[in-house]
Amino acid sequence: MATRTDAPTRREQILREAARLFAERGFHGVGVDEIGAAVGISGPGLYRHFPGKDAMLAELLVGISGRLLTGAKRRLAEADGVPGEAVLDSLVEGHIDFALDDRPLITLHDRELDRLRDSDRKLVRQLQRQYVELWVEVLCAVYPGLAEPAARSAVHSVFGLLNSTPHLGRPGSLPGRATTAGLLHRMARGAFAAAAAGE
């Protein structure tokens, strides 16, 4: 994810705190008053920004799926649409940024996706499938002998590896962001190379 230099909007602050609280205590374990208190407004004041907690959850989960896909498309476009090693590295780096910076959203997705309305859940799945297929295209270009089904399995496996960050301990207990990012990157590329070697 690109690093922002401007201050987050009130809406973004609400979503960030809602994600943190939902991840810590579960969707039903958090009230609107608590979310409001976390951003310095009254619970009823939240309704000026969102119709309710369900809308916050939907925006969080649909939003991150859309941002991951948009970011991946941008990385591919910046390489003039020609997949290669540098594009694969860039995709891995982008997903690592998400996995390290948005850990509550990973927990939220794992625990609360089924709470979304059918239409929102289907949209999340659609965006995720497009994201996976973009990775598959790049991976098959880097490893021409890798069949698409094996590439797809490898991509899902690497996502599982990268998305394990909520289980690594609290951010302060990690060896440092750069060190953790480098380790995750080497592991991801190693997994892809192993998948290609096994074909």
Q: pLDDT digit string (tens) for 29-44?
A: 999 999 999 999 987 8
Closest by CA position to 86, among listed 95, 97, 75: 75
Q: Which domain holds residue 86?
A: 53-197
> pLDDT tens digits, residue range 93-122?
999 999 999 999 999 999 999 999 999 999
Q: Which residues contact 153 (CB under 8 A, 6 or more apart)?
A: 195
Within a domain: 192? yes
How many separate domains does the chain show?
1
Q: Which tens digit of pLDDT belongs to each residue from 18-27?
A: 999 999 999 9
Count the neighbouring beta carbons within 10 Å of the beta carbon of residue 62.
18
Percent of the chain with pLDDT over 70: 93
Confidence band for 195, pLDDT divided at 50, 70 and 90:
very high
Residue 146: CATH number of its domain: 1.10.357.10
- pLDDT over threshold 50, residue 89: yes
Give a yes or no: residue 2 inside a domain: no
Question: What letter does residue 81 receive in the DSSP assignment?
Answer: T
Q: Which residue has the tokens 């939220």?
A: 108
Q: Is residue 59 part of a domain?
A: yes
CA 125 to chain CA centroid, nearest Å: 13
Within-domain flag for 35: no
Confidence of residue 6 (pLDDT cuts 50, 70, 90): low
Query: Could you tell me if residue 44 is inside a domain?
Result: no
Q: Is residue 141 part of a domain?
A: yes
What pTM value is reported for the model? Answer: 0.89
Q: Please, are residues 27 and 57 in contact by the beta-carbon 8 Å criterion?
A: yes
